Structure 1
Amino acid sequence: MRIRALVATLMLWLWVPVVYGQILLAREALEEPQLSVGCLYPLTGPMGFFGRDANVAIGMALDRIHKLNQQYEAIGEKLYPRLKVLLEDSKGKRHRSATIARQLVEEEGVSVLCGVVYSSIALEISAYAQQKEMLFIGAGHSSSRLTQEPVNPWYFRVNNDSRQSMRAGARYLKEMKLEQPWTTLAYVGPDYDYGHQALEDLLEGLEDLGVPFRISGEYYPKLSEPDFSAYIEALLVSPPDIVISNFFGDDFANFVRQAHLQGLLKVSRLANFDTGGGYDVIAALGNDLPPGVILSGHHHINWPDTPRNREFVAEFYRRSDRYPNFMAESSYAAILAVAEAWREADTPDAEGMRRALEGMKLPLPEDPPGFQSWIDPVSHQIMQVTAIGESQPNDDYPPAKRMLGNWKIYLPEIQP
């Protein structure tokens, strides 16, 4: 009976079009859900593509849970819960996100919150979750401040944070010095928590590795600022060897396009170690992305070349007729983590799930052979491999004209 209820729920999700602000998994399931999850993503506006990809991936995660339940039922193992997932359009707005979070909890009765793209909003939602003593699974934002002491015991993140990405970037830059000596770098990032924290993380990594360098400038444009020409002109006055950028989405695509046109990329190497290598950016740039730009991301559609990652990308494409950006895998991971925590918990309540999440191993599409993502019980941050590559001509994944290659792979600095 439990399986039949989940099947009905999943089938309704597959056939009913998404109506933003309403429940994706229909209320008319044959049995009441055992766990309700409320996810906040922008579904409309400049960053709406993040939420739309999260929408597809949540469905994939639910189907994955259903298939695993079929296997577990056949051998008499404990099943995953019947899930109800509500996806709300935050529009990327701070006040709206906070209001929606309260409504999901206090009016809709969700037990777990998930998602959120902007780190500044995630900090506020995290504080609310701590106040309510309920789980918040961060899936999409990156500021390392969310997993620094004092750690919110109810917050867990299932994608790389800026500390992991930037410290991997520091290791990359140290190795690069041996092959292409450099002495100066400049930083350009968004003027909010994530942008400032990312530079702190990089500087800490370089200092810990004993890398000598000089910062020639720091620039912090506002989010969604359309014209970066003044910042690029300032960089061109005395071009640094390397420009580090932590823009994401359309902002990074616009910065690359303008930097290319104004000649900055002819005199400085450009690197984005956190989300700049996401497929959405690469596809948006097309031939405007020159070869040799140093990029990474939270998930890559052409690395690792494993059955799990190939199947994830192919299934996403089958459902949506497009390739996924990194938000897809993080939202997929969030739903799997919630279901796994409920299944593994000694008691199927918030405290039991919280304890189950600490140290949890979670096999994900981005895991290379021999590695499995796991959640650090101290910081509540997922530990994952970082792959950094260079842009190269490649039209295997249209409409992109470039993909990343010449990979360098960095394991997490701590082990389970």
Structure 2
Amino acid sequence: MTTGLHARRSLLRQTAAAAAATLAAPALVLAQQPAHGGGNGAAGPIRIGEINSYTAIPAFLHPYRNAWLLAQDEVNAQGGIHGRPLETVFRDDAGRPEDAVRHAGELVNVERVHLLAGAFLSNVGLAISDFANQHRRLFVASEPLTDALVWSRGNRFTFRLRPSTYMQSAMLVEEAAKLPARRWAIVAPNYEYGQSAARWFKELLTRARPDVQFVAEQFPALGRIDAGATVQALAGARPEAIFNVTFAQDLTNFVRQGNTRGLFERRHVVSLLTGEPEYLLPLGDEAPEGWIVTGYPYADLDNPRHNAFREAYRRRFNEEPRCGSVVGYDTVTAIATMLRRTGGATGTDAMIEAMRGLRFPTVFGTAEVEFRAIDHQSTLGAFVGKTALRDGRGVMVDWRYADGAKYLPPDEAVRQMRPQSAS
């Protein structure tokens, strides 16, 4: 156990150092380039301002940035967008909404980017979205999962790639409703993402199974979970099943304490994001078995498009892709597809019109994904399966692809949640 702990700490230190190194090097190159690259002239680059929590969430965002640059280089190697190369100016918000907004202002007013993209944490994504709305700039949100981003606080300028808390909760409820458990507990980080996921899981499971009851809820601070106390509180409520929304180091601490104290014995666990390798692999041989999860079975997914992406990623970075890699690559693919649709025009109105109903391929190798015109949510799905141990590490087994388009509410419900001014 001690050896495994040292190994995990070493891995985290190496990942953080690598993320910092990749942040520093491109920033120096970009700083030497012209502020606007020739304006809207045919030879000038199309500039993307990308803001993300690189130093706060390196396990996800280091592979995300790797794949972003891979996709950008592939676009540029093919002649760019009508002869104009893509160029990205990266900024690190360190997980702080106020820093994200400051960077957005600098990117728009000083760097003269044509659009904004990125964001990981939901509260950061909402802050950038509000900035985009106020300053009338396109924002392609990669990762923030809260539904408020496209529904209650949605706006004309914001589009979101990843399946939301509603969508992924609906995918998991489909499996949770089959379990014999009636008494449920919830553990989720106490910020926008965790609160949104908990809300939708409770509402959707109660609709599917009116006989269930929620006997305990724990909302630890993000990145500061007191795992022992959290596990003790959950166990004291004697649930038959647990819905977990923790991720990253909070998940590692929760699993370790849960294993030590027997929380997961003879209990069902349904867990958001835990099947993503960024969060599953660091658990090593402590990875739980039999949890129902959303994730990314990167090693076993076998189709021509995904295989080509995985091999290209391996060749360039000498490592396996992660879920962050998919998100980074697909975000650039979506932006490039949109810009081809505009004929290379970078006016905000033209780009927004091109984003509405835009269809583009995903490296998952499934059917094309669409940014819905009604709410600017993409139909990208997720994989649903179970966790298992293989050769001393956690993997996803018995997985299936859940098409995001099938896990969204009807249009009339969306219209009631989304402000009319957002259309």
Identity %: 22
Q: Is the 8 A contact 1:183 1:213 kept in 2?
A: yes
The aligned amino acid for 2:53 is P
Match of 1:103? 106
Q: Distance in 1 between matches of 2:377 and 2:258?
A: 34
| Structure 1 segment 362-373 matched on structure 2, within 5 A | 362-368=360-366, 371-373=367-369
2:62 aligned with 1:64: no
The TM-score with structure 2 as length reference comes to 0.83
The correspondence of residues 15-30 of structure 1 with structure 2, limited to 5 A, is 18-19=23-24, 22=27, 27=33
Shift in Å, 1:348 = 3.8
Specify the alignment match of 1:162 in structure 2: 165
Q: Distance in 2 between matches of 1:151 and 1:93?
A: 20
Which residue in 2 is equivalent to 1:133? 136
2:309 to 312, 328, 347: 312
Question: Which is further off, 141-150 or 346-355?
Answer: 346-355
1:264 alignment partner in structure 2 = 263
| Partner Cα separation in structure 2 for residue 38 and residue 198 of structure 1 | 28
Alpha-carbon displacement from aligned partner over 1:266-294 (angstroms, at most 9, x marks no partner): 13222213x22111111100100132122
Identify the residue that residue 10 of structure 1 maps to in structure 2.
none
Matched, 1:380 2:376: yes
Once the two structures are superposed, residues 351-410 of structure 1 have per-residue CA deviations (whole angstroms, 9 ceiling, x without a partner) of 111111111111111243xx2221111111111233211112224xxxx71210112443
Deviation at 1:303, TM superposition (A): 5.2
Task: For residue 320 of structure 1, report the CA deviation from its aligned partner.
Answer: 2.4
Instruction: Check whether the contact 1:167–1:202 (CA below 8 A) recurs between aligned residues.
Output: yes
TM-score, length of structure 1 as denominator length = 0.84
Give the drift of 1:212. 2.9
Which sections of structure 1, spanning at least 5 residues, go unmatched? 1-15, 71-77
Contact 1:373 1:384 in 2 (8 A): yes
Aligned to 1:74: none
The offset of 1:100, in angstroms, is: 1.2
Instruction: Give yes or no for contact 2:371–2:379 (8 Å, CA) kept in 1.
Output: yes
Residues 1:112 and 2:112 are matched in the alignment:
no
- In the other structure, the counterpart of 1:407 is 399
Asked if the contact 1:367–1:385 (Cα under 8 Å) also holds between the matched residues in 2, the reply is: no
Distance 2:200 2:323 in 1: 21
Alpha-carbon distance between aligned partners in 2 of 1:208 and 1:363, rounded to the nearest angstrom: 34
- 2:417 is aligned to none
Residue 320 of structure 2 aligns to a residue whose secondary structure is coil
Corresponding position of 1:295: 293
Q: For residues 123-165 of structure 1, give each alpha carbon's deviation from its aligned partner in whole angstroms, at most 9, with x where no partner exists.
A: 1110000111111111121111111145211101111111110
Q: How far apart are 1:120 and its partner, in Å? A: 0.6
Q: Tell me the distance in 1 between the aligned counterparts of 2:336 and 2:84.
A: 6
Matched, 1:286 2:278: no
Matched, 1:41 2:41: no
- Letter of the structure 2 residue corresponding to residue 407 of structure 1: W
Q: 8 Å contact 2:43–2:83 — kept in the other structure?
A: no
Matched letter for residue 365 of structure 1: V
Gaps of 5+ in 2: 1-20, 412-423
Gap change, CA 1:165 and 1:233, over 3 Å in 2:
same
Kept after mapping to 2: 8 A contact 1:80/1:343: no
On the 8 A contact 2:47/2:87 being kept in 1, the answer is yes
Which range is displaced more, 258-267 or 203-212?
203-212
Which range moved further: 201-210 or 98-107?
201-210
Length, aligned pairs only: 381
The Cα of 1:264 is off from its aligned counterpart by 0.6
Contact 1:253 1:285 in 2 (8 A): yes
| Separation in 2, partners of 1:102, 1:20 | 22
